[in-house]
Chain A
Amino acid sequence: MKPTTVLLRRGRVIDPRHGVDGVRDVLVRDGRVAEVSEAPLEAPPDAQVVDAQGRWVLPGFIDLHVHLREPGEEGKETVLTGSRSAVAGGFTAVVAMPNTKPVNDSVLVTEYVKAKAREAGLCRVYLAGAITKGLQGEEMAEMGALVAAGCVCITDDGRPVMNAGLMRRALQYATQFDLPVMVHEEDLTLSGKGVMHEGPTSTRLGLIGIPPSAEVAMVARDLVLLEETRGRLHVAHVSCEGSVRLIREAKRRGLRVTAEATPHHFTLEDEAVGDYDTHARMNPPLRTRHDVLAVREALADGTIDAIATDHAPHGVLEKQVEFDKAWNGVVGLETALGLTLAAVREGALSLTRAVALLSDGPAKAFGLPGGHLAVGAPADITVVEPDVEWTVDATRFFSRSRNTPFHGRRLTGRVAQTWVGGRLVFENGQTKESRS
């Protein structure tokens, strides 16, 4: 496919990195942003012209935390279906977690997923390598090889590194690559057999609770290790007030810590478990109103750098079972924008901040290209129809899985177009695959 020239006309451009918020024309050439102009631009003769009036033209969203399930669990998701789900949600780039089967602790798996992503040809798929071989928490994986193969961070996501000595050495070792170490913070001796947040709801339902200390204690430990090692720490899916407080304080002291929060953690409370709804089972669990508000505040004030979905596809077999036997996780790519905009409308954060959390923040946290719309930036662009109301219908997800607690929810704001490297990959509810 030859590179196209595209002129996005008269959209409201919001580019938090450069303080832009206003009607602009955006000219895209050779996959990059060529011009951003307040005055209307004349369309070059070869240009495809897109009328973006009444729409928002945003830096493409970047999701630092998705599970694409390939290799190993292709029945739940594949790199292709996950990419479709991503671009349908306005994400132009995703970071795929390493807890596949086999685990991404080797160049072989990294290369395999990269090849699948090239084949899918929709969004950019970055890889996260494992911290430890097989995610076993015992021996460090070959970090140098993973970095050389293109991994942008390392993580044992889904599992904590319980061995503090090993965690310290991983942080230390990663400094030579300036690599962020992403952590799933959970002290397993505190979470035990817990299946939801420990509180009045778990008591009423007779379900074993997970106290916030299971997360907060590990955040504290890792911040102590971070201070000694001077590495880079990225705290995944922050769920509670205690974690937020520690991260805020660590940032104030200049530690290189970044953090993400998921739409479900800043939207739902533990009561969403309702009558044992396994779609509300996730790890970390949904917390209290107090925690939701603390996470929202942290999103607004910069303590949290990125909104990440922790997109975790599961099939009916994993969810239509007893609550304590259900698997953790929700799909998130296609509902993230609507839920984020709901938080904006509720006054939790500004629109600019929300856009930053979906684009600029994640790009900076992992040092990824994109996340902004300056001249020369990759033309990764998400065009949003801000006022369109729609109802979440899990049966129509592009994802291969349907596990969401948001089925039936009314949301406002929908992705109209997604551009990756100047190429239209999603428009009007359809993905544009380019294998012709």
Chain B
Amino acid sequence: MRHLLGIEGLRRSDIEALLDRAEAHLHGSPDASHVLRGKVVANLFFEDSTRTRTSFEMAAHALGAEVLNWTMAGSSVSKGETLLDTARNIEATGPVALIIRHRSSGAPHLVARHVRCAVINAGDGTHEHPSQALLDAFTLRRRWGKLDGRTVLIIGDVLHSRVARSNLHCLTALGAKVVLCGPPTLLPPGLEALGARVTSRLDEVLPEADAVMCLRVQSERQSESFFPSAREFSRLFGLNAARAERLKPEALVLHPGPMNRGVEIAPAVADGPHSVILDQVAHGVAVRRAVLEVVCR
């Protein structure tokens, strides 16, 4: 694997190999600190994301790499430099990988066509967030052993969610069934063709779920009239305590963070017995070590 631009198109065996490596890293793979010794990995975050950036940084350090963090505020980007010029300039400093977070879907694909080093997509627009999907799948696999035949319900703003797209590709590749649920205005066309079941009736599908993933709802979507109010969204699509009671006893609750407590997920559920949200964060570093190891090899 030369780049990690998305989950779409990866084979099941590629994904499983990454998860297997992540498992080894989670147990402290003894030789790992030599893997990228003397190498440089560059974080290019054109959009703020402390959590993902830090997670990649920790993963790189654990493999012995130096990390260059390019902050885009006040940089040449704000002076009008193009994405490609920025990427080529940073590439000229010699990193083995560029980790790119960008608000435009496809930005890492554009860069990957024009640089020689590896490109890792750390979230592009509303397209994909592959390392997040891998850590979600990893979290589920550690609980379940395998995902085949399991049903994962993803709730909320699917239209604008790169997490939803990457998870849809990843979970279906691993044999799980994916149900996407949200207001019709936030369910774009063609999701069925990607292998999902699509519905706006949360209470009907809730009891079938082996895992529920709540997506972050952005307040600006309310002002864009995708839904009338946070309150109404919460009433129709929020994972509140009453709904959590109707989950299967063993069902898992995930959230990619950061959470709007009280909107898409109730505090009691986020911190409750079903929740694996903090496991997700912890697993992120192991999964990203595996990703760096594979693309920088």
Contacts and interface: CB of A to CB of B under 8 A. Distances in A.
Contact of A322 (B83, B128, B162, B193): B83
B8 interface: yes
Contact of B190 (A204, A207, A322, A324): A204
Interface of A: 198-209, 275-276, 317, 320-325
Contacts of A201: 190
A136 to B, nearest CB: 25
B207 interface: no
Contact of A275 (B102, B106, B190): B106
B189 A206 contact: no
Contact of B110 (A204, A208, A276): A276
A323 B83 CA distance: 11
Contacts of A199: 189-190
Contact of A207 (B8, B102, B106): B106
Interface in B166-198: 188-191, 193-194
A229 B165 CA distance: 49
B193 A200 contact: yes
A290 B219 CA distance: 37
Interface of B: 8, 82-84, 102, 104-107, 109-110, 124-128, 162, 165, 188-191, 193-194
A204 B165 contact: yes
The CB with the most chain B CB atoms within 10 A, among A204, A207, A317, is that of A204
6 tightest CB-CB pairs across the interface, nearest first? A200-B190, A206-B127, A276-B106, A322-B104, A206-B126, A206-B105
A276 B102 CA distance: 14
B124 A320 contact: no
B189 A322 contact: no
Given A198-B188, A276-B105, A321 B110 contact: yes
6 contacts: A200-B189, A205-B105, A206-B125, A276-B110, A321-B83, A322-B107
A320 B188 CA distance: 27
Nearest to B112: A275
The CB with the most chain B CB atoms within 10 A, among A202, A206, A324, is that of A206
A205 B193 contact: no
A159 to B, nearest CB: 22
B165 A323 contact: no
Contacts of A198: 188-189
Given A198-B189, A202-B188, A206-B162, A324 B84 contact: no
Nearest to A206: B127
Contact of A205 (B106, B110, B189): B106
A325 B104 contact: yes
A269 to B, nearest CB: 13
Given A200-B189, A206-B127, A206-B128, A324 B105 contact: yes
B189 A275 contact: no
A323 B104 contact: yes
A320 B84 contact: yes
A153 to B, nearest CB: 36
Contacts of A208: 126
A198 B125 CA distance: 16
B93 to A, nearest CB: 22
Contacts of A206: 105-106, 124-128, 162, 165
B8 A204 contact: yes
Contacts of A320: 82, 84, 110
A209 B8 CA distance: 20
Nearest to A207: B105
A240 to B, nearest CB: 15
A12 B128 CA distance: 55
A325 B162 CA distance: 19
B196 to A, nearest CB: 10
Contacts of A323: 104-106, 110
Given A203-B188, A324-B104, 6 more contacts: A199-B189, A204-B165, A207-B125, A276-B105, A323-B104, A324-B105
B165 A322 contact: no
Contact of B125 (A203, A204, A324): A324
Contacts of B126: 206-208
Contacts of B190: 199-204
Nearest to A208: B126
A350 B105 CA distance: 41
Contacts of A276: 105-106, 109-110
Contacts of A200: 189-190, 193-194
Nearest to B5: A275
